[in-house]
Amino acid sequence: MMSDPWAITLSSVVLWLAWGCFLIVALRNLVSVVQLIVAAYVFKTRVPPAARSIDLWARYSDVAPPISVLAPAYNEELSIIESVRALLGLEYPEHEVIVINDGSTDATLDILIRAFAMKPANLPQVAELQVTKIVGTYRSTTHPNLIVIDKENGRKADAVNAGLGFARTPLVCIIDADSIIEPDGLLRSAEPFLSDDGSLVAVGGAIRIANGCDVKGGSLRKIGVPKAWIPRFQVVEYLRAFLTARVANAHFDALTLISGAFGLFRRDVLVEIGGYHHDTIGEDLELMIHLHRYLRDKQVPYSFDFVPEIVCWTEAPATLGGLRNQRARWQQGALETLNRHRSMLFNPRYGRIGILMMPQIVLEDVLGPPAELIGYIVFPAAYLLGVLSGEAALAYLFLTFVFGTGLSVGTLALEETQLRRTPNARDLARIAVAAVVENFGYRQVNLVFRLIGIKRYFRGEKGWSAVPRVGFNG
């Protein structure tokens, strides 16, 4: 008796889909393993920077170049005072703080004016890089190094570009207004520039989750673990991203992302390329890829650095809605950047970036999310159709759930042995539990959010989905 040809076709499709998903997920996991091993090697063999900020100050206070801290702000009334106080209180010989109010619809500007005694000031703009209108400029009468730029809404990229136009220092620090740098953060980020031969363009640092921490008067008083599970899962994610991927990529001179929450850049290079692209959702990734492309096209020596001891604390989304908006936006931004710079893909002209890192973006942001989600469906289907054994289905589950847990625990071990930012064993155990639990629901929901970002990209949506804020100590 002849078998049903449609059944054969369905079985073949399911089988090919299953093994295709398996190979993509396995390759993505292999990249993560290599990054973890390289990061462990880097931490073990490197010479760590000075442990105490007083030593940094004694060493560099006379030679550290002036820095302008650019803090774009949109509807940040809940945390703007604490953030600005933290920026003003940074341990650095000479720095100015430029807050760019990007057309906030809440009381952000009014709060700034009242809290810091801001007065209108006719400040000249050296370079006009933004596309929206500057409404007004203010300088604090109590803090002469504090400037506020009020402008029409144009999103973060446009706000940073406006700030670049008013900055005059050789280095600019770009930080989210809802973030807090540790007091020695500027000194630590400036240190690589002081020993550089002139090729260093930017320095990035680690981003940590501020939810659950004790923040008062604009400073971090006590490190804590978020009470809610959604931000607690993000603690694990951020540790993986910054203690493995960033450290490993920087070691190979292939750093493609300095977080938009914190980065120190040479101002002249940013102005030379025209600042951020105005029409991008993922401005931090696009900026770095743009810099790589521009500097390689010019055939000038350059480098980027990452210092894990630089820590910037930021408020993470506390709800699924906020997380969805953030992750969909990140996904959409990655696809926009990949498309804009697609000619770099596998192009030897761009060295490691074209040959290794651009394909890695394809793997992680184009193929990876749908492949893993499809795998959760097709592997059980293949087993039920009798085209794959139960062992094969279990192997896929091991590849996703067990492997993900192992990678997270390995990163936690790296953090505990090298940086030790988790205050006590109880908090470390709570994060370890989150590293296991996140693989059973949270991880899959995140994949769905990333698919939403893919859909928004292909539909050409340009709207900015805001992340609701609850303020620090949440």
Q: Mean pLDDT in runs of 10 for the chain (474 residues)?
A: 56 88 93 94 82 71 90 89 87 94 94 96 92 96 96 93 96 88 89 89 94 80 90 93 93 93 95 90 92 96 93 91 94 94 96 95 92 92 87 86 86 80 83 91 94 92 69 54
What pLDDT is attached to residue 425? Answer: 82
Write the DSSP symbol of residue 304: E
Residue 448 covered by a domain? yes
The residue type at 412? L
State the total domains in the chain: 1
Residue 136 covered by a domain? no
The rounded distance, in Å, linking the Cα atoms of 385 and 113 is: 67
Residue 99 covered by a domain? no
The residues, any chain, with a CB within 8 Å of residue 304's CB and separated by 6 or more, are 200, 201, 202, 203, 204, 250, 253, 255, 258, 288, 291
What pLDDT is attached to residue 470? Answer: 64
* Buried-state track 208-239, b at ≥16 Cβ within 10 A, e below 16: bbbbbbebeebebeebbbbeeebbbbbbbbbb
The rounded distance, in Å, linking the Cα atoms of 84 and 100 is: 11
**E strand or H helix at 68, and its extent?**
strand 67-73
Residue owning tokens 């794959």: 388
What pLDDT is attached to residue 118? Answer: 96
Residue 325: which domain range? 8-65+170-473
Residue 387 covered by a domain? yes
Residue 190 covered by a domain? yes
Residue 440 covered by a domain? yes
Residue 80 covered by a domain? no
CA distances from residue 111 to 78, 97, 104, 148 in whole angstroms, order as listed: 10, 16, 12, 12
Residue owning tokens 């880097």: 42
CA distances from residue 113 to 74, 106, 147, 456, 472 in whole angstroms, order as listed: 15, 13, 10, 37, 21
Residue 245 covered by a domain? yes
The rounded distance, in Å, linking the Cα atoms of 133 and 136 is: 9
What pLDDT is attached to residue 284? Answer: 92
The rounded distance, in Å, linking the Cα atoms of 127 and 123 is: 12
What pLDDT is attached to residue 112? Answer: 96
What pLDDT is attached to residue 2? Answer: 47
What pLDDT is attached to residue 473? Answer: 53
What pLDDT is attached to residue 466? Answer: 65
The rounded distance, in Å, linking the Cα atoms of 146 and 328 is: 34
